[in-house]
Amino acid sequence: MKIQHIFFDLDNTLWDHRKNAYLTIKDLFDKEEITLRYNIDFEEFHSVYHEINERLWEQIRDGEIDKDYLRKHRFYDTFKHFGIDDLDLSMFFEEHFLDKILNYNHLVESADVILEYLKSKNYTLHIISNGFQEVTERKCILSKIDHYFNTITSADSVGVRKPNPEIFEYSLNLAKAQKEESILIGDDWIADVVGAQNFGIDVIFFDVLNENPKQENLKIIKHLLQIKGYL
């Protein structure tokens, strides 16, 4: 059956979370004069934060922790790494981070171009995100890509996260789509590729981190415009 429905992951597939988060944390870091107060270099701070945050998101994906644990610990554990045990400071960063990140809405390179191309080819487009419900739709709206999507599914609205098959089932039902006519495009190997394959839909792996998996017959892109080679 011909592909009709395209399901996109959002963060770091279309919406450049890494860049937007970096800029947001730098703003907070500078405004709170963290280098002056604690003699911490921002680039080193961000590198530690990024590693901790990625690990916590993997634990959320795997059902080991919930989002409240992540929100309490990603900045707290980062500051603690530098010898600063200050829950109030870390929660100040957390609360302002979620609020201020939406001031930045950089897209992954050519995201708007490929969405326009796919829409012109009469594909029906959707979002399946592991992100927080309260920000997923706002990210799409503020980055001006919301009008491309018929449905937007965030993990919080389902109660599970990719790769759990329930979120794929929910999203396809919402889209009134069949597995055989659907494909997922995403950058996370476990959540997107393994999740989609186990659920039984086709997938395009956006290999932004150059993981170069060796799986036979897997559709892989390094740049979003390469989607044109498959669709």
Q: What is the pLDDT of residues 56-94, one digit of tens each?
A: 999 998 889 998 999 999 999 999 999 999 999 999 999
Question: Does residue 132 have a pLDDT over 90?
Answer: no
Taking residues 29-40, what's their average pLDDT? 97
pLDDT tens-digit profile of 90-107? 999 999 998 899 999 999
Residue 178's pLDDT is what?
Answer: 98
pLDDT per residue as tens digits for the range 36-58? 999 999 999 999 999 999 999 99
2 pLDDT higher than 80? yes
Are 162 and 185 a contacting pair, CB within 8 Å?
no
Residue 102: per-residue pLDDT: 93
d(C-alpha 231, C-alpha 225), whole Å: 11
Token pair recorded at residue 45? 């701070």
The whole-number pLDDT of residue 70 equals 96
**Portion of the chain with pLDDT greater than 70, in percent:** 100
Per-residue pLDDT at 98: 86
| Residue 69, CA atoms < 13 Å, CB-side half-sphere | 12
As a residue count, the chain comes to 231
Q: Tell me the backbone φ, ψ of residue 153, rounded to 5 degrees.
A: -110, 125
pLDDT at residue 127 in the model: 98
- Work out whether the CA dihedral 220, 60, 10, 43 comes out positive or negative: negative
Question: Quick one: tokens of 28?
Answer: 């907070």
* Beta-carbon-side half-sphere exposure of residue 77 (alpha carbons within 13 Å): 16
pLDDT at 226: 98
Closest CA relative to residue 14, chosen from 117, 140, 154, 98: 140
Q: Residues of the chain with pLDDT > 90: what percent?
A: 92
Place of tokens 């890509």: 145
Across 112-141, average pLDDT:
95
Compute the Cα dihedral for 11, 12, 18, 20 and give only its sign.
negative
The pTM for the full model equals 0.93
Residue 134 banded pLDDT, cuts 50, 70, 90 = confident
In this predicted structure, what is the pLDDT of residue 1?
A: 77
Residue 181's pLDDT is: 98
Beta strands (DSSP E) in the chain are 5-8, 124-129, 149-154, 182-186, 202-206, 219-221
Q: Can you tell me whether residue 24 is helix, strand or coil?
A: helix
Res 112: pLDDT = 98
* d(C-alpha 124, C-alpha 130), whole Å: 20
User: Residue 23: pLDDT band by 50, 70, 90 thresholds?
Assistant: very high
pLDDT at 141: 96
- Integer-rounded Cα radius of gyration of the chain: 18
Between CA 156 and CA 149 the distance in angstroms is 18
Question: Whole-angstrom Cα distance, residue 224 to residue 231?
Answer: 12
